[in-house]
Amino acid sequence: MRGQLVAFLVTAEGVQFRRLDCPLAAIHSLLRLLWLNLRSVPRSSPDRLDALTTNARGLLQQLYEHLLAPLADDLDSYRRLTIVPHGPLHYLPFHALHDGEHYLLQRWEIHYLPGSSFVRYAAEAPLNGAGLLAVGHSDDGRLPHAVQEAGSVAKLFEGHTLLEHQATLEELQRRAPGYRILHLAAHGDFRPDNPLFSGLTLSEGWLTTLDIFNLRLNASLVTLSACQTGRNVVAGGDELLGLMRAFLCAGAASLVLSLWAVEDRSTEIFMTEFYRQLAAGEDKGVALRDAQVNFIRGPGAAQDGAYGHPYFWAPFFLVGNAGPL
């Protein structure tokens, strides 16, 4: 069984077991190539993006053939998939897998759980916070669109903001427990050497994983609009150590996070679209999917198709409750 992949399908009818005819080494190799492609995007000229997009789609199609194609007949009757990855698959954007015609999220609404012990988060009712608090910090001007993003998101929900020098750790700790929606747009840093010190830059300091464990939230949704907020250290027993676990333990019913470094301007556009869908009454999972589909569609959908590469829309994923706010 060493190096062999298996899938468990959990439905209302029970649990099914599938052994996948693909060595884990092949998945590792494809993941490395995919991440190499993603890291090339920020350094590439616009005329090279088409070639990178084609290459990324090919890699995502190979991953689909190995991981999801053997399960396709079992999944066809469902509209929503909850994915619980294991090991290196925690770093794979399943929603961006490509079947040769469509990305997975164009067929299904997809959200994630960090482990089977978190299944209760998929059905948990939203908690009793009210309103929206949007935090925007530019990291000394390096992320100007983060501040604009926080303002745009707050305007859509007639919410409140903490911007730049107002966005202190003390003020966030004081105000965060009262809100139903928390949106944090800032510079993020993932610390694989010490995940308790991963976090987001605020005025006069950092919001770290350790700080978050000490919060008591009542939020239906926490959005971490920053780089690599969904990265974790995968410890023994597939336990994830990072911001995701900290916010879930602090009381968040759901999170939107990012798998890799995100681009400042496109993220502002993406998040504004995501919250526009939420403000129109869409469920969290549907709103995120619709925002991503708008980026995929091309001309006229997201700045004349400039953001169609998965680098711009696929880092974002939803963990936990995918229902209404």
pLDDT per position as a tens digit, 122-162:
555 556 789 999 999 999 999 999 999 999 999 999 999 99
**Confidence (pTM):** 0.92
200: nearest Cα among 153, 138, 152, 133: 138
The DSSP annotation for 242-303 comes to: SHHHHHHHHT-SEEEEESS---HHHHHHHHHHHHHHHHTT--HHHHHHHHHHHHHH-TTTST
pLDDT per position as a tens digit, 69-110:
999 888 888 999 999 988 888 889 999 999 999 999 999 999
Helix axis angle for 24-40 and 46-67, nearest 10°, is: 160
- Whether 180 has a pLDDT exceeding 70, the answer reads yes
| Mean pLDDT for the chain overall | 89
User: Are 322 and 281 in contact, with CB atoms under 8 Å apart?
Assistant: no
Band (pLDDT 50/70/90 cuts) for residue 304 is very low
Band (pLDDT 50/70/90 cuts) for residue 238 is low
CB neighbours of 181 closer than 8 A, spacing ≥ 6? Answer: 129, 131, 132, 133, 157, 159, 219, 220, 221, 222, 223, 325
- Whether 299 has a pLDDT exceeding 50, the answer reads no
- Whether 233 has a pLDDT exceeding 90, the answer reads no
